[in-house]
């Protein structure tokens, strides 16, 4: 009875506060009406677990939410051309907003996408292994030899072998396979076998091994620009993030890989992705897709070119970049800068000699102690710019980052309100913020995003190994952030597209704080599912500075939404992982529809997962 009363109360609230929306809607017929459902609006924007009004129906016109309310009120708005969809009680939420992820890095690990774009060995020789480290040792020589035989008749043809970590992103496989690189699988082996063909051995997360031919081709593409790179940054250059977009794939191939990649993620319910773009060709590819109106979701990007952080010593460059913030289209825009990648250094006390040694290595020559990094961040913030992302892992460098932002803001003469309006963001929350850092985030209006897969794939286990329970408590401290009134955002930051994992595995991990083996770390610090839904929706809209147009299902906002086959708010915690996304809309356009929903609603299934045989093709 309590649940029924709550629903009726929420419906009354909808009718009371959105009556003006209904009056306006009566002047024009909707394009689409979703009815007989559970519309979770998330129209409460506060830092709490209150999701706001829950309605029965939602009307869409010209890409925006026209009205939200009862079935009776909205169904009578239908015109001759209105598509009405009976949800049969299913749950609708705002689309998921990821403040930090790298689809541009993961798409090339998706065999189904690569096979679509490069269907034969005529252009590239692409091979994929998704087996245990022991099996990699057995199978790699045969797979590599076969690939070399295919490629060697054509000098210059790429050989690319991806070593994946299994359908469950097995972190033990990851550690074992990574340990093979430079030993059993090494550059000398690649050079001897294929001296005239570029070779990339791509690991299933980050990292690559290249032969000399691939390195020479990379030097030729980037040319004189490399001579100007900062010495301390240049060591990072020969990696997949720079070689794949500009050397391995042609511009046309890259554009199509990225197009399919964003479409793939709509199958998880995602409608906005935020990331740093590391390569010039990545910027060009997404900009091209935007101009062609082929982006399946919205995309906010951050400037990241740490090889030339000295650019920020030029006042004209800084002012020009700050002036570009927020500019772009409804689908693709610049949201700030990402100055550098921070490390794992922590002020916590290690609990063993081995942990002490690991800490000493992590705290030697930290990135944010480098003048080129702190100077870049200082100059950009002082000029009025926004730090829209920042790869940070340990709490020690957070102190340096916060100090730099505070000093730059003070030297610029900014008021506290002006500082808070920037909404600076740091990423990951792997082992930060400390309890004494959270008030600083609050006072500056800062946010942080966190990747809960750090719990799943063993990173928090390692923090606990080195720092005990304090290490676990300080890892992904979402609950402490909520209690302090600090918004925190969703990350994926793992290549789930080649696995059987979905966003609901991320949610499950956040709610249970369990790793892949079922061990829970500091479970008392977990948040509830209502809070996690706000993390994944409205808080992400604030991170994108787009809360007026997305992040919740309110009249006038873009119709970015998901339809689920189960009720996120009531299924058991174990059933949560089994929720499927039946439909994803971006701007009222269906970007993903599972086959079962398409059959029921008399429509065509769409989306890269469905078309290429991904998980959603079975739903």
The reply to whether 295 falls in a domain is no
Question: Residue 9: pLDDT above 50?
Answer: no
The mean per-residue pLDDT over the stretch 258-265 comes to 99
What digits encode the pLDDT tens for the residues 31-87? 999 999 999 999 999 999 999 999 999 999 999 999 999 999 999 999 999 999 999
What's residue 24's pLDDT? 55
One domain for residues 447 and 527 = yes
60-74, 287-301, 390-404: range with lowest mean pLDDT = 390-404
Once rounded to an integer, what is the mean pLDDT over residues 248-274?
A: 99
C-alpha atoms less than 13 angstroms from C-alpha of 248 in its C-beta half-sphere: 31
The mean pLDDT value for 391-408 works out to 95
- Residue 230: pLDDT band by 50, 70, 90 thresholds? confident
- pLDDT for 365 beyond 90: no
Q: Is the pLDDT of residue 19 over 70?
A: no
Average pLDDT, the chain: 94
Is the pLDDT at 238 greater than 80, yes or no? no
Element housing 115 (H / E): helix 111-117
pLDDT for the residue 8: 38
Residue in the block written with tokens 């290429």: 612
Is the same domain home to 458 and 583?
Answer: no
537 in any annotated domain: yes
Rounded Cα gap, residues 282 and 289, in angstroms: 11
> Residue 571: inside a domain, yes or no?
yes
Q: Report the CATH number that the domain containing residue 54 is assigned in CATH.
A: 2.30.40.10
H helices, E strands: number in the chain:
28, 21
* 401, 526: one domain: yes
Domain of 432: which CATH number?
3.20.20.140
Same domain, yes or no: 489 and 569: no
CA dist 319 and 518 (Å) reads: 50
**Between 231 and 520, where is the model more confident?**
520
Are 173 and 27 in a shared domain? no
pLDDT of the residue at 197: 98
Residue 545, sorted as left (phi over 0), alpha (psi -120 to 50) or beta, turns out to be left
Residues 493 and 105: beta-carbon distance below 8 Å? no
Instruction: Flag whether 145 is in a domain.
Output: yes
State whether the Cα torsion 282-286-292-296 is positive or negative: positive
Q: What is the mean pLDDT of residues 356-372?
A: 88
**Digit-coded pLDDT (tens) for 510-561:** 999 999 999 999 999 999 999 999 999 999 999 999 999 999 999 999 999 9
pLDDT of residue 6: 43
Same domain, 16 and 143: no
The range of the structural domain enclosing residue 335 comes to 307-543
| Those residues with Cβ within 8 angstroms of residue 192's Cβ, 6 or more apart along the chain or in another chain | none
The H-assigned helical ranges of 226-344 are 231-234, 240-243, 251-266, 280-291, 315-324
Sign of CA pseudo-dihedral 532, 536, 542, 544: positive
Mean predicted confidence (pLDDT) in 143-160: 98
Mean pLDDT in residue range 131-155: 98
Q: Is residue 28 very low, low, confident or very high in pLDDT (cuts 50, 70, 90)?
A: confident
SS (H, E, C) 137-191: HHHHHHHHHHHHHHHCCCCCCCEEEEECCCCCCCHHHHHHHHCCECCCECHHHHH
Does one domain contain both 57 and 153?
A: no
Task: Output the pLDDT for position 306.
Answer: 86
Q: What is the DSSP letter of 26?
A: T
Residue 290 lies in a domain: no
Q: How confident is the model at residue 239 (pLDDT cuts 50, 70, 90)?
A: confident
Looking at the domain assignment, is residue 535 inside a domain? yes
- 121 and 233 both lie in a single domain: yes
Q: How far apart are CA 27 and CA 495, in angstroms?
A: 46
How does pLDDT run across 182-203, given as a tens digit for each residue?
999 999 999 999 999 999 999 9
pLDDT in the model for residue 371: 84
Report residue 17's pLDDT band, with 50, 70 and 90 as the boundaries: very low
What DSSP line would sit under 320-386, residue for residue? HHHHHTT-B-SSEEEEEE---B-----SSPPSSHHHHHHHHHHTSS-GGGSHHHHHHHHHHHHTT--
In this structure, the answer to whether residues 199 and 339 fall within a common structural domain is no
What pLDDT does residue 355 have?
A: 97
Report, as an integer, the average pLDDT of 248-272.
99
Q: What are the beta bridge partners of residue 93?
A: 562
- Domain assignment present for 271: no
For the residues 431-446, what does the mean pLDDT come to? Answer: 98
Is there a domain that residue 299 lies in?
Answer: no
- Where does a domain end: 502, 519, 543? 543
DSSP string, 49-91: S----EESEEEEETTEEEEEE-HHHHHTT--TT-EEEE-TT-E
Tens digit of each residue's pLDDT (9 = 90 or more) over 549-586? 999 999 999 999 999 999 999 999 999 999 999 999 99
pLDDT, tens only, 465-488: 999 999 999 999 999 999 999 999
Q: State the total domains in the chain.
A: 3
Answer yes or no: do 385 and 497 share one domain. yes
For residues 530 and 387, state if they share a domain. yes
Q: Is pLDDT at 240 greater than 60 in this prediction?
A: yes
486, 510, 543 — which closes off a domain?
A: 543
- What pLDDT does residue 450 have? 96
What was the pLDDT predicted at 71?
98
Q: Which of 543, 575, 600 is the last residue of a domain?
A: 543
**Is the predicted pLDDT of residue 3 greater than 70, yes or no?**
no
* Same domain membership, residue 231 and residue 317: no
At 341 the pLDDT is 84
**Average pLDDT of the segment spanning 124-149:** 98
Q: With bands split at pLDDT 50, 70 and 90, how would you rate the model's confidence at 226? A: confident
Say what the pTM is.
0.95
pLDDT at 448 over 80: yes
């Amino acid at each position: 009875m309590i649940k029924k009363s709550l629903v009726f109360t929420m419906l009354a609230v909808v009718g009371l506060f959105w009556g003006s929306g209904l009056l306006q809607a009566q002047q024009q017929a909707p394009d689409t009406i979703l009815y007989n459902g559970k519309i979770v609006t998330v129209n409460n924007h506060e830092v709490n677990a209150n999701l706001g009004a829950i309605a029965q129906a939602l009307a869409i016109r010209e890409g925006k939410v026209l009205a939200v309310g009862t079935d009776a009120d909205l169904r009578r708005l239908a015109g001759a051309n209105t598509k009405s969809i009976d949800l049969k009680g299913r749950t609708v939420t705002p689309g998921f907003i990821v403040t930090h992820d790298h689809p541009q890095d993961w798409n090339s690990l998706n065999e189904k996408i690569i096979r679509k774009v490069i269907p034969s060995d005529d252009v590239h020789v692409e091979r994929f292994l998704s087996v245990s480290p022991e099996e990699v040792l057995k199978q790699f020589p045969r797979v590599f030899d076969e690939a070399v035989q295919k490629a060697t008749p054509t000098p210059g043809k790429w050989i690319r072998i991806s070593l994946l970590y299994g359908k469950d992103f097995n972190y033990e496989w990851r550690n074992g396979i990574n340990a093979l690189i430079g030993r059993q699988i090494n550059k000398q082996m690649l050079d001897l076998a294929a001296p005239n063909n570029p070779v990339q051995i791509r690991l299933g997360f980050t990292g690559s091994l290249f032969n000399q031919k691939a390195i020479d081709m990379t030097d030729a593409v980037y040319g004189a620009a490399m001579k100007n790179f900062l010495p301390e940054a240049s060591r990072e250059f020969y990696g997949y993030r720079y070689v794949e977009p500009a050397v391995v794939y042609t511009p046309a191939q890259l554009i199509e890989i990225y197009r399919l990649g964003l479409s793939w993620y709509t199958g998880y319910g995602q409608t906005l992705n935020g990331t740093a773009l590391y390569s010039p060709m990545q910027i060009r590819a997404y900009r091209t897709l935007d101009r062609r109106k082929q982006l399946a979701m919205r995309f906010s990007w951050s400037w990241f070119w740490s090889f030339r952080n000295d650019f920020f010593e030029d006042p004209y460059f800084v002012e020009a970049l700050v002036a570009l913030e927020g500019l772009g289209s409804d689908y693709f825009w610049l949201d700030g800068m990402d100055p550098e990648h921070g490390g794992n250094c922590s002020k916590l006390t290690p609990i063993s000699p081995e942990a002490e040694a690991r800490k000493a290595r992590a705290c030697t020559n930290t990135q944010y102690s480098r003048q080129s990094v702190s100077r870049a961040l200082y100059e950009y913030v002082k000029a009025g710019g926004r730090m829209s992302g920042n790869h940070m892992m340990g709490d020690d460098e957070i102190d340096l980052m916060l100090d730099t932002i505070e000093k730059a803001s003070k030297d610029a003469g900014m008021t506290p309100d002006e500082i808070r309006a920037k909404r600076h963001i740091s990423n990951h929350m792997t082992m930060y913020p400390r309890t004494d850092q959270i008030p600083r985030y609050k006072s500056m209006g800062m946010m942080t995003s966190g990747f809960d897969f750090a719990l799943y794939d063993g990173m928090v286990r390692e923090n606990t190994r080195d720092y005990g329970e304090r290490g676990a408590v300080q890892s992904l401290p979402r609950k402490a952030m909520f209690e302090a009134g600090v918004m925190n955002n969703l990350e994926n930051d793992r290549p789930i597209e080649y696995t059987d994992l979905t966003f609901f595995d991320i949610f499950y991990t956040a709610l249970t704080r369990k790793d892949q083996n079922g061990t829970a770390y500091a479970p008392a610090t977990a948040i509830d599912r209502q809070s996690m839904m706000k993390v994944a929706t409205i808080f992400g809209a604030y991170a994108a500075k787009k809360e007026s147009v997305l992040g919740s299902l309110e009249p006038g906002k873009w119709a970015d939404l998901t339809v689920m086959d189960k009720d996120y708010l009531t299924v058991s915690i174990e059933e949560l992982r089994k929720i499927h996304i039946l439909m994803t809309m971006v701007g009222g356009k269906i970007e993903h529809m599972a086959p079962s929903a398409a059959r029921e609603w008399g429509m065509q299934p769409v989306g890269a997962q469905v078309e290429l045989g991904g998980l959603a093709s079975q739903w």
